[in-house]
Structure 1
């Protein structure tokens, strides 16, 4: 039970410390906060340490310790014959720990670039654990961590640490661990028809790090960059962070509209595309559009950033060849990642850049804020060389196809007339189309309240106008939870209709 000092009762000084917090520290914090908030005004005389100890029912050592710390920090004055008084301080209003109501708070003062970055929304709300137990259903872009061979990965890392920890303690080449770059070049050539040498590969801290590096090296402040609309928020953020302007270019059933891009920003320096599986709509860029995009880049002296974020997961036919494999002019910067294939915390991605850009990108990587730890790079190299990576991709391709089919089947049964779910032939998510005029942002908020983590399609668009829809990830949600999640989503959507 808390005790209150009669001398300080008017300002509500109480002692009720949380477990593990020293009483002297708690008393110090309570008096300090009262001084900063103006409740204890400058010049006010406080009880002696002995009197205060008696009033609060604590040892005198406790009050002496608190007073001494407050005097040392300048909050109190203690003079012989004058007792202990609040120091004569000019306390700025911002120092007061009193929480202002949200309505009177001033917005933070940001740079123009900071304000623009803060406005890049990637989802309306992140659904935390909802009703029941376990993570929310349908997170977008998350792989099946329940199916990842974590024990095997741990053994690979431990073995690598034992065998070559000494050699991995030295500075590494800024482009990354050479054996991993060789493994990536071989894999991308075989699986994605990418044409490259290991020298063209740079290992980066995830796809986002690669996008940011490319934007900084290829764009000057004020430059225009074509951006798929709707499109990946991370690419838009990277363009803005480089000081450039993302120009929203419409996407149709054939992918990015090249003619519209030329009309909107004929002097653009970069075009960002996801040609194999457009995010978020899921369409594939047609061959005529691919050739037209490469021709534009060649004649305009521009570059194309190809984000091949989930090309491993195509459920009908073979994975489509990359745009980079068609490029004969050195105009494509290819971005790949292991985060969605293995696990997000790995944070290993890679860039494959044209020969003429290798030195510039290596220099840019040298001064980047983060580098991938060498042990993780070496362990991933072993994981690929031992065949574990290829086997994991094959297993996940089958698993994700099953989970995607289960989601579509459950949605058709539970959401008929409320949400029209389009089957996906690739990737880790499907799109559910809402009735015209419905607010997909509000629908996503209601879903979050029911423990369902979906993304509104509008959050990925720079310009309004497309039919409202929701993105539902199926990779990370086991089949039993898919049925439960669809039922929760149905409850959320029908309650508002």
Structure 2
């Protein structure tokens, strides 16, 4: 039956349904129809992802939703199984289950245009493509025979050294190149951290609300996520200690919280570091959007306060350069270098050496610093365009929250009535890449709102037209 199921599990990139959602529905249907029996073992995440030609995170998201609904059970390293105690299938299989929030719909429409409000995209029109192409071309021309051999599994030395210099000058982080590990994107970075430091059943603090991809990744790995509420001072450390004092890790965005945009207060930073030291726990700091600050210098990272070696610092070039690089980096404490070196040899880096060497040149030649400096006023202007358009057209429905940086805007609904999910879904149907704040929440509901990217509005009229389309959703499509 498993072979028959796999032979019919085909995905369609042309459907409006996200790929993880297609996997979720097909597995659920196979269970309901008896093609997958209770107690049968499913393919591993890696194996199914390879068979289907999709990213591991896509399969992990589908499995995580099925586990949450009781259709599957994760048994850690033993694999994922159809639950022996299945839900009442005749009742639950009929309605379409609510999907997990995706990070974004497809980045490109069929006509090659990006949908308005796309999250997670920097201003791609402002990226110095000609300069980048010259740097890549130079790397191709000057490459040696040795550059064609197997690359280092923890990243090219020149890129790791460049990252060390950048972090020292711009983020106040003192580290050595051997502490830096290059990974193929944030999901791969999380997978590296989980596989190196955690075991199934470990409690892990996660921000609530927080980045939607993080929760299913930890669940799929067999961890027990603990939703810790976020308020105007950032993650509530006292609430985390009360809920799970023995957690093995806290994962958070302390400098610019995603999605609320608040910063972790100094008192809570010190409380978090003290908890980690006392409990021998780890802190994974995602320095989300830290470089994109409109006023003043970026806030110092939590890692710069770490004196006990408990903080792992995660950065990515997706927001500062462009997402297609699929390049992130992790700075680990000195005491973890050997452990992460071992896991890197098992997993590899995953980033093409050509791109690594090009990014190193981009940093070392000063282009990275100049690019960041140029982008800050651009983002400030484009956010103002969107905020002003919302104020002019939708002030009775939406209130824009203040923020000191970042490339996404949060507009809270003035009257919360379960609308943000419905509005986001209708927006997707109309080609607007909206996301509901409710979909970023785990266990602590707060005010509803819409998350919108603004980085690729190249002129004021672009923002005004997109908001006019959004306004029609509030007016019943008229």
TM over 0.5: yes
Closer, same or farther in 2 for the Cα pair 1:116/1:105, shift >3 Å? closer
Superposition map of 1:2-17 within 5 A = none
Q: Which of the residues 171, 187, 193 maps onto 2:172? A: 193
Paired position in structure 2 for 1:221: 200
Cα distance change on mapping 1:93 and 1:325 into 2, 3 Å = closer
2:385 is the alignment partner of 1:406 = yes
Aligned to 1:478: 458
Match of 1:429 in 2: 408
Does 1:115 find its partner at 2:95? no
In the alignment, which of 261, 266, 287 is matched to residue 245 of structure 2?
266
Larger Cα-atom Rg: 1
Distance 1:276 1:391, change over 3 A: same
Deviation at 1:373, TM superposition (A): 1.4
Q: TM-score, normalised by structure 1?
A: 0.76
**Aligned residue number for residue 87 of structure 2:** none
Contact 1:432 1:470 in 2 (8 A): yes
1:472 is paired with a residue whose SS is strand
How far apart in 2 are the matches of 1:257 and 1:156? 45
User: Where do residues 139-288 of structure 1 align in structure 2 (5 Å cutoff)?
Assistant: 139-288=118-267
User: Does the Cα contact within 8 Å between 1:179 and 1:381 map onto a contact in 2?
Assistant: yes
Residue aligning to 1:72: none
Moved more, 230-239 or 249-258: 230-239
Check conservation: 1:458, 1:464, Cα contact below 8 A: no
RMSD: 2.9
Q: Are the aligned partners of 1:315 and 1:425 in contact in 2 as well (CA < 8 Å)?
A: yes
Corresponding residue of 1:489: 470
Query: What SS is found at the alignment partner of 1:233?
Result: coil
- The question of whether the paired residues in 2 share the 8 Å contact of 1:408 and 1:423 is answered with no
Aligned to 1:462: 442
User: Of residues 416, 424, 429 in structure 2, which corresponds to 1:449?
Assistant: 429
Distance 2:121 2:153 in 1: 28
CA contact (8 A) 2:63 2:220 kept: no
After TM superposition, list the pairs within 5 Å mapping 1:68-107 onto structure 2: 105-107=29-31
Structure 2 segments unaligned to the other structure (5+ residues): 10-24, 37-41, 45-59, 69-98
8 Å CA contact retained: 2:104, 2:118: no
Taking the aligned partners of 2:217 and 2:416, their CA distance within structure 1 comes to 32
1:170 is displaced (CA, Å) by 1.8
Q: 1:174 & 1:135 partners in 2: Cα distance? A: 34
Query: Does the residue aligned with 1:320 lie in a helix, a strand or coil?
Result: coil
Match of 1:329 among 285, 308, 313: 308
2:237 matched to 1:313? no
Take 2:473 and 2:110, find their aligned partners in 1: how far apart are those partners?
12
Change in 2 beyond 3 A, CA 1:189/1:129: closer
The verdict on how the C-alpha distance between 1:356 and 1:95 changes in structure 2, with shifts beyond 3 A counting, is: closer
Deviations for 1:13-55, whole angstroms, at most 9, x for unmatched residues?
Answer: xxxxxxxxxxxxxxxxxxxxxxxxxxxxxxxxxxxxxxxxxxx
Instruction: Give the C-alpha shift of residue 121 in structure 1.
Output: 2.7
